[in-house]
Amino acid sequence: MNTDKAFIQFAGFTAGRASSFFDFYAHDFEFQTATAGSDVQSTNLLAYTTKLGTSGFSATISMEDPFFRRNTIYSQEFAAPGQGLSALAPQRVLITTSPLGIPTFQTVDVSQRSRLPDFVGVLRYDAAWGSAQLSAAVKELNTQNPIIGSTVAGTLTPGFALPAVGPTSRIESEYGWAVQGGVKINLPFIAPGDTLYLQGAYGEGASIYTGITSYNGTYSSRVSTINGAAFDPYMSDATLNPITGQIQLSKSFSVVGSFLHYWSPEWRSAVFASYSEIEFARGARQANALAYAGAGTATANNFTGIVGTRSFALAPTLRDNYQVVAGASLIWSPVKDLDIGVEGLYTKVGVQQGRVIDQTRNAPLTAAQINAGALVRTVTADDTYQVRMRVQRDF
């Protein structure tokens, strides 16, 4: 059983399980919560809200459960079936180089733990015309200790300059952050109940706060909105650089607009659209390719290739990407608290530069085969249309 909301409010304090104070639009006019935007309907929190005079302004500070805002630190590896928690997210990190120039790596657990709450601050304004909100958040990103007995010798691209000694101590934590601004405008002069939302967000190491994962799937390094997609967009909050041992934050942003119109008291429609991007740290792809030397196959969708070669240029791993979402709905409410509706949706995901291997139209290929000139089908983007019906009764 899952508790959606259970909180106490007293003298400005809110304690318990409630919606995140960071959120604003939160997909109010959508069935599928498809646009890019923050929307955490239930999280554990302790917050304090105060009115700033009688002007309509209010301010909130909130400590919120980090679990509900934690996306992955990218790992090139996967655990074998039956392995324990410490093996769920391993990643190689260079620890030394032998006199013969052979790099030695140790596996680090990049599964994150809840050490600090997320800190959220909000400034809000409410008036007869609508409302506006500015939100900010800070969160910790951390890793665990190296996994005992995981030291391996590696191979790197010839001529690559290695440090004499890599990181040997615990990986230092980093701190992600996000800011968001939104405005809600009431439009009764068009029709009673008509409303327009506009919202934008930017973050580093905070992809759930910017909402780029809201429809693709949070808590995943990569996943697509499309069944049988040509490629899956990557969306990790950060990468652990296997050469330097540093956590490197990803940058992301989103913009969204949504308009609700009442044709009559019983009939209403919404139109909405969003655009979002994520950009990974400079050198993140190259570092993983150097550490793993083209391991994997081209259709596994977790494939880096070899730096400076055709396989690297076509690999989908940690490619900067974008997403476009647009949709509309028609809803009939014959009686109070009963909605019967249909929603149509268009989604497109693509890489910002270059092309990637089409994982649905190629036989399994290694980096060596691709570099040797094997025929490879590639794409720059993939898209889909969806239609969904919904009947909802509120009690």
Q: Which residue has the tokens 């791993």?
A: 317
Return the closest-CA partner of residue 120 out of 212, 38, 8.
38
Task: Walk along the chain (395 residues) and give the pLDDT tens digit of each residue.
Answer: 577 889 999 999 999 999 999 999 999 999 888 999 999 989 999 999 999 988 899 999 999 999 989 888 998 875 444 444 344 568 888 877 666 667 778 888 888 888 999 999 999 999 999 999 999 999 999 998 777 666 776 666 555 555 544 555 678 899 999 999 999 999 999 999 999 999 999 999 999 999 998 777 677 788 777 777 888 899 999 999 988 889 999 999 999 999 999 999 999 999 999 999 999 999 899 888 888 876 777 667 778 888 888 989 998 899 999 999 999 999 999 999 999 999 999 999 999 999 999 988 888 888 888 888 889 999 999 999 999 999 999 88
Looking at residue 144, its pLDDT comes to 83
Looking at residue 81, its pLDDT comes to 42
Looking at residue 97, its pLDDT comes to 66
3-state secondary structure labels for all residues of the chain: CCCCCEEEEECCEEEEEECCCCCCCCCCCCCCCCCCCCCCCCEEEEEEEEECCCCCEEEEEEEECHHHHCCCEECCCCCCCCCCHHHCCEEEEEEEECCCCCEEEEEEECCCCCCCCEEEEEEEEEECCEEEEEEEEEEEECCCCECCCCCEECCCCCCCCCCCCCCCCCCCCEEEEEEEEEEEEECCCCCCCCEEEEEEEEEECCHHHHCCCCCCCCCCCECCCCCCCCCCCECCCEEECCCCCCEEECEEEEEEEEEEEECCCCEEEEEEEEEEEEECCCCHHHHHHHHHCCCCCCCCCCCCCCCCCHHHHHCCCCCCEEEEEEEEEEEECCCCCEEEEEEEEEEEEEECCCCEECCCCCCCCCHHHHHCCCCCCEECEEEEEEEEEEEEECC
Looking at residue 215, its pLDDT comes to 74
